[in-house]
A and B are shown apart, each in its own frame.
Chain A
Amino acid sequence: MQDSSPNLFSYIYPAFKMWQVKRLQALLSIAGIAIGVMGFVVVVAMGLGARQEFSRAIGVLGTNTVIVNSTSSDGLPQLNSEMLFSLNKLMGKELHAMAPVQHEYRNAYINRKSKRVRLVATSSAYREVFSLAIASGRFLAPYDLRHRQRVAVLGHESAMELFATTQVSGQMLRLGNEWFTIIGVLAADKLPVMKLSGFEMPDIAHSIYVPMTVMTADAVDDLEFSQLMLKFVDDQRIPAATPLLQRVFGAGRFRQHKLEMVIPYELLIKKKQFQNMLEVFLLGISSIILAVGIAGVLNVMLVSVNTRRSEIGLRRAVGATKSDIIQQFMIEGVLLAVIGGTVGLLAGWGTGIIVASWFDLPVLFDSRTISTGFVVALLAGVVSATYPAIKAAELHPVDALRS
């Protein structure tokens, strides 16, 4: 005896034929699922984006970084070499690296063109603080600072914008009125340009790094600077070290808002908490929209069962089992959900791009986002089709034929 179970095409083909005739019914169902899936996709993409940004930032900054900034209204640097000596003396063993930083903007001249660039005057320890990788050449060395070498290290994007290559070691570059020899280029890093309250992540790829000593006429061991990056050996030491840091830098300066202490990890955690709250809020809204969508599809399917009673009776009379009828309505519901889910995924992708650009929030679309969208759509299809399918199958053939 041949296999008498209908093949999948026997269910899909009539479904599409029906939707050709009953377009409004199909469109309403698809729209309900699409809106719900779109909401879910955006939330998942935002969640993944936030997590990725968080882990990248942690990967670069670490959990053990403390930044001291000059915030004096007169713009004068509030930090100096003496403070570095004191810090080294008091807590040298607890510190992995200390990098003084002074920022300045200058014009870089290349091929008769000029480009405004951000100069980071610092020491060799800067690389250790941010765990920077080198694409070519080398980073600043203690020798460069001691001997006031006019050398420069380019961020990856700076090198690409100025020279369109990273193989530029040995070339000369005019920054303002001074010429520098390029000694290296940083590798392309994935540090996100993040804004945290009170602290902007350094735009490492777009900066140019020069020895701090070439920017000033001060003695090599008597420098003034506006920022100090500290990397602790162990992040557990930071809470205990904070009062000591305040003593070294002068508690009064912090009170007078001439200095501020930033612990990026704490800010990252706060930002992540905010993003988590936003995710929960949006997830709630998406769930409500999806529930409304499911209710809409459920209603459309129930109406469909009622208007197709004689069809159900006919199918039962010519050999359909209860299970065949359940399969038919389930496949119709799931098909609508898959179509709605696909539309929702595309709409969610578009909305994600808008959210990312308007609200400056990281959004990530990958296989997890797509699979979540499809799983949500499938579940919505199954949930909304199950009851109407059972109702259709439970119709007595004689009653259905009499309709």
Chain B
Amino acid sequence: MIQVRAIDKSYTLPGQKITVLKKLSLDIAEGDFVAIMGPSGTGKSTLLNLLGCLDIADSGSFILEQNTISKMDDRALAEIRNRKLGFVFQSTIFVDYLDLPDNVAIPGFYSGMSHFDGRQRAIGLLKQVGLGHRLSHLPGQLSGGESQRVAIARALFNRPRILLADEPTGNLDRRNSVEIVNMLRGLNAEGLTIVLITHDETVARAAGKIFTMQDGELKHHAGQ
């Protein structure tokens, strides 16, 4: 499903070039639940951004379901993000002036879904994540755990093939973390491929495969 071969990524800061990923390769099969661990600044988020088609590698190849991502233009990448990928970020990002159903339905805006249909599907997803009683609320009125559940509902809106989660429990207490991890497990059990970035070993244990990032390189750490 995902085939990454020898990708490099570096950033240029005034006076210096910082290499973040070095000849990194990774294979993820359909239905995998992959966790990537490692200390801060080792390139975990950079890798997730590349897998999420938000950024392009300097060299190497990245193939996502037979699509060579490095050769795609802005429109095609946006289409892939919209149709095939779902994102959950550490800091919950919402459109603060839209209520929860409208926030969850944002991916639908860009797939041509009507506003009414979008809201109906969003309401269904919010009920699924246990927030059916907060439909008229604005994102600013939610707790951390609730926000992350809304983010998962939004990520699932266009029925993606892969869910990319960047420290989804980073800002949550233990109880909410467990809830989110259980939710991810459940989704994976239904066949959704998940790539999870986390500091937390207990969270990573939910995954079938665990990798560790160190100095821009990926090492298979545990799992099958």
Contacts and interface: CB of A to CB of B under 8 A. Distances in A.
B156 to A, nearest CB: 11
A332 to B, nearest CB: 12
Contacts of A313: 93
Interface residues of A, number: 33
A21 B96 CA distance: 9
Contacts of B97: 14, 17-18, 20-22
Interface stretch (B49-57, B179-187, B195-203, B207-215): B49-57
Contacts of A311: 93, 95-96
A113 B114 CA distance: 72
Interface in A1-43: 2-7, 9-10, 13-14, 17-18, 20-22
Given A17-B97, A398-B54, A318 B106 contact: yes
Interface in B50-107: 52, 54-55, 74-75, 78-79, 81-83, 87, 89, 93-98, 102, 106-107
B82 A2 contact: no
A341 to B, nearest CB: 24
Contact of A319 (B55, B82, B93, B115): B82
Contacts of A17: 97-98, 102
Tell me if A's interface is mostly helix, strand, loop or mixed. helix
A26 to B, nearest CB: 11
Interface string A205-241: 0000000000000000000000000000000000000
A2 B117 CA distance: 14
B95 A14 contact: yes
A156 interface: no
A317 interface: yes
Contacts of B96: 21, 311
A310 B93 contact: yes
B112 interface: yes
Contacts of A397: 54-55
Contacts of B157: 318
Given A10-B109, A401-B89, A317 B74 contact: no
Interface in A76-112: none
A266 B112 CA distance: 65
Given A319-B78, A319-B82, A319-B107, A314 B95 contact: yes
Given A310-B93, A314-B106, A401-B54, A319 B98 contact: no
B49 A4 contact: no
A260 interface: no
A321 interface: yes
Contacts of B107: 318-319
10 contacts: A4-B111, A6-B110, A10-B109, A18-B97, A311-B96, A317-B81, A318-B81, A318-B82, A319-B158, A398-B54
Closest 4 CB pairs of A and B: A319-B82, A319-B110, A21-B97, A318-B107
Given A313-B93, A319-B78, A320-B78, 5 more contacts: A5-B112, A7-B112, A10-B115, A311-B96, A319-B158
